[in-house]
Each structure stands twice: as structure tokens, then as C-alpha cells.
Amino acid sequence: MQRRVIFSQKGLPYLLIAPQLVVTLVFFFWPGAQAVYMSLLQQDAFGASVQFVGLANFEYVFADEGYVDAFRRTLGFALAVTVLAMVPALWLAVMADRVLKGSTFYTTAMLVPYAIAPAVAGVLWLFMFNPSIGVLAWWLKALGVDWNPVLDGTDAMVLVVLASAWKQVAYNFLFFLAGLQAIPKSLLEAAAIDGARPLRRFWTIVFPLLSPTTFFLLVVGLVYAFFDTFGVISAVTQGGPATATETLVYKVYKDGVHNLDLGSSAAQSVVLMVIVVALTMVQFRFVERRVHYG
Amino acid sequence: MSSIAKDIVAPVVAGRGAAGPDGRRLAWFPHLVLWIGIAVTAFPLYIAFVASTLTAPDVAQAPMPVLPGGHGIDNYRKILLQGMQGTYLSPPVWQMMWNSLVMALVITAGKIVVSILSAYAIVFFSFPGRMLAFWLIFLTLMLPVEVRIMPTYEVVSDLGLINTMTGLTLPLIASATGTLLFRQFFLTIPDELVEAARIDGAGPMRFFKDVVLPLSATNIAALSVILFIYGWNQYLWPLLITTDNRLDTIVVGITKMIGTGDATTDWPQVMGTTLLAVVPPALVVVLMRRWFVKGLVDSEK
């Protein structure tokens, strides 16, 4: 954590660390504390009356069927996005690990969606699947699929899952590829000499050796699906139709910014904080081995 | 496992190139899979490009043409210089791109300066409160904007920073990731260098400028690429902090242009703007691939 040889100035380190600490305290910890404090208060939308209500906001939030539904929906959404972004990424990474020519080209092309903002990814998919003019919506209809994400909740959910996963494949691909390149070839050759078939080699050698990467990407993927997909949902469905695609983060935003239900929004924020803390702790506690690239 | 699935997974480890266990059997197969992957990756962007070269009525007829039309230059000139016309009047897209660029650059530079200085303080000095400061910075990882939307808005509003570039950027320039990254790197600088500098009479700031900063160049470059993309792609924060559309970033601007997102939206204009929002960060990834990869992998350590 600290070096053996250090400088002895007394005031200078405080000066160096001050900018970061000021921003951290003013824009992170103060609002974070405010969220916790506000979650214990009840106030009307105009701020005219405020009273301390203890955990009533939390009771209210968890008694609200809408919130419990949103919780379940978010879990399903997060799992769908994470798995859908990991499976193709693993397959593509295994393929990219095998090619001799053009791997730089493939990798670069595959990484581009990482650069695209979630909201922008959402707009791209919204356009393709627009029920009246979208290219892919037209094909779906030609195939006899009754597709309308504007009216049908399931269709809308499928659309935001696809857009969110599409963007995240790039990230998973990169880390899987790095993990694959770190596996010593001699292991696979030894197994091949012993007569292990390719499929068996994949499941008994490659996949277990990749498991730290897989677990790491699972956690990162869940964090992404929980928090970073706000842009996708905001651009594509605004949580609708009705509440069919409303995730927890979108609901906090809607209840706070649009419905001005501050107590409930604050209590929801605190619940989200607990989720972030848990996911971050899992990430730092259990994900020890890192991958190396190139 | 079904035989189809077997056929799909089997080539996965077969070979690993010419030197691999199973030789070159099915050497074309990975290329095929990768091309399908690239096609799925590129398809939405291609469709957006085609739409941006058509007229609104062209796009509105289902299905729209699959080859580019002849209105591209005209569409791009219109949105870049005048902005979206029609039911929603946007600022010119060049202005939104400028806002995004300034925001991204200020966030990038801010995060790097702030985090390299605090990492330097934490690693090279011993002072009361050092661990506390380190943990405070570390804990910001657990407080993303999404979990403190309303109170952060209040703070920025109390400081009079709504609808300002400062309000857009300053609250985002704390960086736990950057601090952890630089701290990790500083710990690997040999003690001999520090001692030599002290014997030569160099103070800490001189040492920082002449030794630490040049040694950090690679890390700064790699982190900058990641942070630029992060900054350019901000959405929730600008959405909260700006109501004046002269400060719209391009990502926020696009979602305002969509409106209800039905057939009456002028899709060629929206798709043109969408591509303009994708090009700068995508170019950064493509042109600085090595830095980008290093930054991405390092910043998760």
C-alpha cells in the first residue's frame, strides 16, 4: 500500500489530494447521505411540510406491488442481458483465438459497439424494430410474427434486452479473448495427445480455466444491466408500454424527477445503493485472478 | 448434447491454428463465425447509414430500400448546420457535437489530473488521514449517479450550476478507477529512483514532473481513451442538468429528436445524427485500439 522511501512534506499531500476529496465529498457523499436521510422523511411535492417517518418509506416501497414487480423484472432483464451478451462473446472469442490471419481486424471490428452510448444503441435498435417502418419489424411481419413493441410489453422487453446485450458483447469478447490467450497451449496439446476430443477439451480444460473471467464478466454484466442500461430504456421505451420495461433505475428516475415522490424515490435509491455495494464487494472479494491481454 | 450443438462447439478448440492439435481441418469455420459476428455488429449501423441517405418518405415506405440513396450529403449538411427541422427544432448538430466534445475532454482531463495527483499523495507521502482519504475515494465506486439522482441534482442546483458546462463536468471528475490504477502503477516505481532524486536535491513536485509523469505516459494514454468514450457517452447526467437545449450533448439531442418515435419522426435526420454521435468514439476505439484495450483491461484491475 505504501512505499518504503517517501517524501516528508506535511502540507503538500493534502493539497494534492484536495481536489479529488472535495469533488468526492460534495458530489458523492453529501448527496449519498442526503438520499439516506430523505428516505427517512416524508414530504409533499412542494416541500411545504416535512416529517420524520422512520422506515415507513421502505415499508411503503416494498408493500408496493409495482416495486416488487420492477424488482423481479429487473432481475430477469439483467440475467437475460448478461447471458445473451456472454454466450455469443465467448463463442466469438474462441473463434478469434483460433484464426491466424486477420485477428486484429476481427477484434477491432468487434470492439466498436463498446464506443456506442447505450442511448444511441437503443435508438439504432428502435429504428430497426419500429413496428410501422423498421426493416426487421417488416421481416418479422412477413414471417407472420405479430410484432409491436409499442403496444406489447413482451416485445418491448425483447427489444431493450437485444439492444442492451448487443452493446455489451464487445466488452465480454475482449475479456474472453484475453483469458483464452492466457491458457498455455501445451495443456491442450497434452490433452489432445491423450486422446481428448475437441469438445471434451473445451469443457474440461478451456472452460474451467476461463471461469475467473466468466465470473468477473457475470458481475460486470449485472452491474451494466442494472445501472448502465438506463439510456437504452429511456431512449427506446421510457419504461413502457405501461411499466413493462421499467427497471429499478428507471423507476427511481421516474418517481423522483417526474412524479416528485421524493421519499419513495430516496428509499428506492438506498435499496439500489445496497445492491451496488453488494455487487462491488462480490467483485473485489471473489474476483482475484485477473486476465492479461497481449 | 445434440449432434448439431456438438458440431458447433467441436471446432472451438480443434487446432488453435496450424500448430494446434488438430491441424487445419475446418480452418474456414472461425472466419465464417467471426464474419457473422461482424455482420450482426455492423447491421444496425449500416441500416442507420442507409436511412441517413434517403428522404423521410423513402424511409416511411415499408420496407425501406436496403441500398443508400442520393440525399446523404444534403441531409448531413442540413442537420450539421441547421439542426433538425420539422416538429422538433434542435440546435445545429455541430453545436451538439461541440458540447459533447468539450464535455468529454474536460471530464477526461479532469479525471486524470485529479486522480494522478491523489494517487501521488497516497503513495509517496505519509500523512494523517491517508487511509481514510483512500477509502473515501474507493467508496465512490459504490455511489454511481443512478443511485443518488435527486440529491445530486439538488446540490448542483444549490451551487447554481444547472445549465452550465461546469455542472455538466465537475461532479463527474472524481475517479476511483483512475486513482486505483495510478496507485497500482506508482507502487512499481523503484525506490532507487526516489532516492536518487532526493540525493540530487529534487523536491516532490520536481520528481513528479520529471520522473513520475513521463513514466505514466502509457497509463495516461490508455486511461484517456476509456475516459473520452465514457465522457462522450454520458446520458443521464446531462439529461438532468441541462434544460437549455443550447447545451444539449449529441446523445441527449438524439433522444429529444425522436419524439414519440413513430412514423412521423424524420428518421433520415435522426439516423444521420445518430451516426455522427457514433463516429468520434468509434474512431477513437479503431485508431487507438492498443491504448483502448490496455485501458479497458487495466481499469478493471
pLDDT digits (tens, 9 = 90+) for B54-63: 888 888 887 7
Q: Evaluate if residue A232 carries a pLDDT over 90.
A: yes
Residue A155, SS3?
helix
pLDDT for the residue numbered A89? 95
Place of cell 449519498: A32
Chain A within 8 Å of B147 (Cβ-Cβ)?
Answer: yes
What is the residue type of B182? Answer: F
Per-residue model confidence (pLDDT) at position A196: 81
Above pLDDT 90, what percent of chain A? 36
B41–A96: do the CB atoms touch at under 8 Å? no
Cα(A42)–Cα(A51) distance, integer angstroms:
5
Q: Is A293 helix (H, G, I), strand (E, B) or coil?
A: coil
Superfamily of domain A64-286 in the CATH hierarchy: MetI-like (1.10.3720.10)
Write the pLDDT tens digit of every residue in B115-130: 999 999 999 988 898 9
CA-nearest residue of chain A to B44? A124
Which of A3, A128, A252 lies at the smallest CB-CB distance from B187?
A: A3
User: Does position A36 have pLDDT exceeding 90, yes or no?
Assistant: no
pLDDT of amino acid A46: 63
Whether residue A112 contacts residue B43, with contact meaning beta carbons closer than 8 Å, is answered with no
CB atoms within 10 A of CB B85: 12
Whether the CB of B293 is below 8 Å from some CB of chain A: the reply is yes
Q: Which residue of A has its CA nearest to B16?
A: A98
∠B146-B150-B151 over CA atoms, to 5°?
A: 105
The stretches in chain B having pLDDT less than 70 are 1-25, 260-263, 300-301
| Pairing status of strand A41-43 against strand A50-52 | antiparallel
C-alpha grid cell, residue A287: 474476483
The mean-pLDDT minimum among A40-44, A166-170, B62-66, B251-255 falls in A40-44
Residue B282 has its nearest CB partner, among A13, A112, A280, at A112
Cα–Cα distances in Å, from B178 out to A2, A277, B13, B183, B201? Answer: 17, 19, 37, 8, 30
Contacts of B161 (CB under 8 A, 6+ apart): B167, B170, B241
pLDDT value at A55 more than 50: yes
Residues in B touching A174 (Cβ below 8 Å)? 293, 296-297
- Of A148, A166, A169, A167, whose CA–CA distance to A157 is shortest? A148
Check: CB of residue B75 under 8 Å from CB of residue B52: yes
Q: Give the Cα separation of A256 and A254 in Å (integer).
A: 5
Amino acid residing at B21? P
- Residue B111 belongs to what H/E stretch? helix B93-124
Shortest distance between the Cα of B152 and any Cα of chain A, in A, equals 5
Check residues A112 and A292 and name the one with the higher pLDDT.
A112
- Mean pLDDT (chain A) is 86
CA dist B53 and B75 (Å) reads: 7
CA angle A247, A243, B253 (to 5 degrees): 70
As for the ipTM of the complex, it is: 0.88
Instruction: Write down the pLDDT at residue B166.
Output: 93
Judged by a CB distance cut-off of 8 A, whether residue B258 touches chain A is: yes
| Nearest CB partner across the interface for A227, out of B9, B121, B146 | B146
- Average pLDDT value for residue range A190-214: 85
Domains and CATH numbers, chain B: 3-81 (no CATH), 93-298 (1.10.3720.10)
Inter-chain CB proximity B155 and A116 less than 8 Å: no
Could you say which DSSP state residue B175 is in? -
Cα-trace Rg, chain B: 25
pLDDT at A5: 67
- Measured CA to CA in angstroms, residue B70 lies from A137, B58, B61, B76, B211 at distances of 24, 11, 17, 12, 55
Segment 55-84 of chain A within 8 Å of chain B by CB: none
Residue A111, C-alpha cell as written in the block: 470492439
Confidence of residue A211 (pLDDT cuts 50, 70, 90): confident
Q: What is the pTM of this model?
A: 0.88
Which residues of B fall within a CB distance of 8 Å from A234? Answer: 235-236, 239, 255
Mean pLDDT for A98-111 is 86
Write down the residue that cell numbers 480452418 correspond to. Answer: B27
Q: Are A6 and B125 in contact (CB under 8 A)?
A: yes
Domain map (residue ranges) of chain A: 64-286
Region class of B144: left (phi > 0), else alpha (psi between -120 and 50), else beta = beta
Which residue matches cell numbers 417517518? A53
How far apart are the C-alpha atoms of B133 and B117, rounded to whole Å?
Answer: 13
Per CB-CB distance under 8 Å, the chain A contacts of B15 are 98
Tell me whether B235 touches chain A (CB under 8 Å).
yes
Return the residue of B nearest to A132 by Cα.
B263
Residue from B277, B275, B278 nearest B99 by CA:
B277
Interface of B with A in 9-38 (CB under 8 A): 9-22, 29-31, 33-34, 37-38
In chain A, what residues touch B120 (CB-CB under 8 Å)?
16
The predicted pLDDT at position B8 comes to 37
Q: What is the pLDDT of residue B40?
A: 92
Q: Which tens digits make up the pLDDT trace of A243-276?
A: 889 999 999 898 888 887 778 888 888 898 898 8
pLDDT at A292: 39
